[in-house]
């Protein structure tokens, strides 16, 4: 995918016709919220699904860092009790239950990522991470089956992985991702990822934080078959979008396999819940505009359609 001569035409035409990029955004119905799941009881998850019933499109439910619960793979859910993959799967099923029960229009449908992260992965053994990735993929596959059997028109289920260079070495994240990707029947996985410390001016496989480089971010966010990139575009300066555009440019020119972005993730909602995070609180539309704009700054990275916009919040 060395050149992309046409993918940006739709956006250009839209902007020319309407006058502003903002006018080219999807309807607000498709600007979803994603959630850090710090409350996961059946009632909490069902209520959250009901609360989300006016939305359709891509979103993620994050359950915290990978851990073990009585020898079973799971996640930490922050201050809440650790959950094994069975409890996490049930929580997602409860969420879908509430969504299907409350949605006002039967054409609405959520594409839900079940997420964990590379947080504290450096403290885990390589094999443990690989096996956890496999256990996660198996859970996601099974939940997808239950949802498809019970609420086939309401939701589809995927994996999700919030990988951030500041949280672990790239090798540790890669072990988890490789385990997920190798699992038979695994659904695709949203890469809700950050590009901490990656270059803001160059596209020569330059270094990011913590031993990562542009190639590592590209590898985990795109080269792995399961990965669908949904980058975190938090900075109001637009620098995050610039970092991802340069990763894409390096991938296009050096690896011959440029990225295609499926959506953006912002954190305005979580910032508001936490009392603010100045400089890192793009609205969903600002995040989308930054990525669209930076990708469009070079014909080799232009992308006409970026589908999803999701804004992360806490579910407490």
Partner 1 sequence: MSGAHAMREEAPRGRSRRWRRVRRTLLPAVLVVSGVLASAAASATLSDKAPAPTELEQHLQDQIDAMRAAGLPASDPKVRALQATLDQMRATSRIRPQRDPQGDAGALLAEAGEQQADPRAAAAEAAAEGEPLWESGPVDCEPVPGLLSADELAGATCVSVPQPDGTSRFVALGADGVARIVLFGADGHVQRLPDTRLPAGLAPGTAVTPTPQGDLELAPPGRQPTFLDLR
Which residues between 203 and 232 bind partner 1 (CB under 8 A)?
A: 225-226, 228
> x/- binding map, residues 141-160, to partner 1, per CB under 8 A?
-------x-xxxxx-x----
Asked if 12 is part of the footprint of partner 1 (rule: CB under 8 A), the reply reads no
Asked if 56 is part of the footprint of partner 1 (rule: CB under 8 A), the reply reads yes
Stretch that binds partner 1, among 21-29, 243-251, 282-290, 291-299 (CB under 8 A): 21-29
Asked if 100 is part of the footprint of partner 1 (rule: CB under 8 A), the reply reads yes
- Residue closer to partner 1 by CB (options 76, 202) is 76
- Residue closer to partner 1 by CB (options 156, 205) is 156
Asked if 101 is part of the footprint of partner 1 (rule: CB under 8 A), the reply reads yes
Query: Among 59, 60, 63, 82, which residue interacts with partner 1 (rule: CB under 8 A)?
Result: 82
What is the closest distance, in whole angstroms, from the C-beta atom of residue 68 to partner 1 in the complex?
Answer: 10
Stretch that binds partner 1, among 4-12, 133-141, 199-207, 284-292 (CB under 8 A): 4-12
DSSP the chain: ----SSTTHHHHHHHHHHSSSGGGSPPGGGEEEEEEES---HHHHHHHHHHTTT--EEEEEE--SEEEETTEEEE--TTSPPEEHHHHHHHHHHHHHHHHHH-S-TT--EEEEEEEE-TTGGGS-HHHHHHHHHHHHHHHHHHHHHHHHH-TTTEEEEEEEE--GGGS-HHHHHHHHHHHHTSTTPPPEEE----TT--SS--SS-B-GGG-BHHHHHIIIIISTTEEE--B---TTSHHHHHHHHHHHHIIIIIS------EEEE-HHHHHHTT--TTS---HHHHHHHHHHHHTTSTTT--S---EEEEEEEE-
Binding residues for partner 1, total number by CB under 8 A: 79
What is the closest distance, in whole angstroms, from the C-beta atom of residue 39 to partner 1 in the complex?
Answer: 7
Asked if 316 is part of the footprint of partner 1 (rule: CB under 8 A), the reply reads yes
Query: Among 98, 199, 221, 296, which residue interacts with partner 1 (rule: CB under 8 A)?
Result: 98
Query: Among 94, 248, 289, 311, which residue interacts with partner 1 (rule: CB under 8 A)?
Result: 94
Asked if 188 is part of the footprint of partner 1 (rule: CB under 8 A), the reply reads yes
């Amino acid at each position: 995918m060395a050149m992309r001569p046409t993918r940006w035409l739709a956006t250009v035409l839209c902007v020319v016709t309407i006058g502003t990029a903002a006018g080219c955004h999807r309807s607000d119905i498709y600007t979803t919220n994603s959630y850090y799941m710090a409350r996961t009881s059946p009632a909490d998850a069902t209520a959250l699904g009901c609360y989300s019933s006016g939305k359709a499109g891509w979103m993620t439910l994050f359950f915290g860092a990978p851990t073990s619960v009585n020898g079973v793979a799971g996640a930490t859910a922050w201050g809440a009790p650790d959950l094994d993959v069975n409890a996490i799967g049930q929580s997602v099923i409860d969420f879908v239950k509430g969504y299907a029960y409350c949605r006002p229009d039967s054409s609405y449908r959520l594409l839900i990522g079940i997420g964990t992260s590379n947080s504290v992965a450096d403290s885990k053994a390589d094999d443990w991470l690989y096996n956890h990735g496999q256990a996660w993929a198996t859970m996601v596959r099974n939940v997808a089956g239950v949802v498809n059997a019970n609420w086939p028109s309401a939701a589809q289920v995927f994996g999700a992985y919030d990988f951030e260079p500041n949280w672990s070495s790239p090798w540790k994240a890669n072990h988890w991702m490789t385990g997920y990707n190798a699992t038979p029947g695994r659904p695709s996985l949203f890469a809700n990822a950050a590009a901490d410390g990656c270059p803001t001016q160059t596209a020569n496989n330059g270094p990011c934080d913590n031993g990562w480089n542009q190639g590592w971010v590209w590898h985990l966010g795109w080269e792995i078959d399961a990965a669908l990139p949904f980058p975190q575009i938090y900075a109001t300066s637009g620098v995050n979008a610039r970092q991802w555009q340069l990763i894409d440019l390096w991938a296009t020119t050096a690896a011959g396999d440029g990225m295609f972005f499926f959506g953006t993730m912002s954190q305005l909602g979580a910032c508001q819940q936490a009392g603010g995070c100045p400089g890192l609180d793009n609205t969903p539309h600002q995040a989308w505009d930054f990525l669209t704009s930076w990708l469009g700054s070079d014909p080799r990275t232009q992308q006409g359609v970026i589908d999803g916009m999701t804004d992360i919040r806490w579910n407490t």
